[in-house]
Amino acid sequence: SQQGEEDPQALSIQEGENATMNCSYKTSINNLQWYRQNSGRGLVHLILIRSNEREKHSGRLRVTLDTSKKSSSLLITASRAADTASYFCATDRTGGGNKLTFGTGTQLKVEL
């Protein structure tokens, strides 16, 4: 079953703007991860945030996690056309055997 729901489903912005994507989940987690997928390609791991962490940065990426609301957000600052891709959150559920359950994804399009 789908653990994560992401919104928006699609997002179109201009280059240089910030892009924010949200992920909500249903059960308790060990960690939450964000992945990127270019059209028709495999997944690239972006960032992992543990359940006891609230915020994490990696380059132009900022991830927040609110376990009380069971939600996370991914912020991409100063977006570039090359950031155009689908972004998925994935949860490592507590007691889930370290299996990842993916969200529905956000399709980001960054226009020049």
Shorter beta-carbon distance to another protein: residue 8 or 16: 8
Residue with tokens 């399009």, as numbered in its chain: 109
CB of 16 to another protein, least distance (A): 26
The 10 Å Cβ neighbour count of residue 108 is: 21
* Binding residues vs another protein (CB under 8 A): 2, 30-31, 35, 40-45, 48, 50, 88, 92, 97-105, 107
* Min separation Cβ 98 and another protein, Å: 5
> What is the rounded (10 degree) CA torsion for 26, 87, 32, 21?
-70
Nearer to another protein, 9 or 14 (CB): 9
Residue 27: CB minimum distance to another protein, A: 15
Taking residue 110's Cβ as centre, other Cβ atoms within 10 Å add up to: 20
Find where tokens 């909500």 sit.
24
Amino acid at the residue 44:
V
Nearer to another protein, 24 or 77 (CB): 24
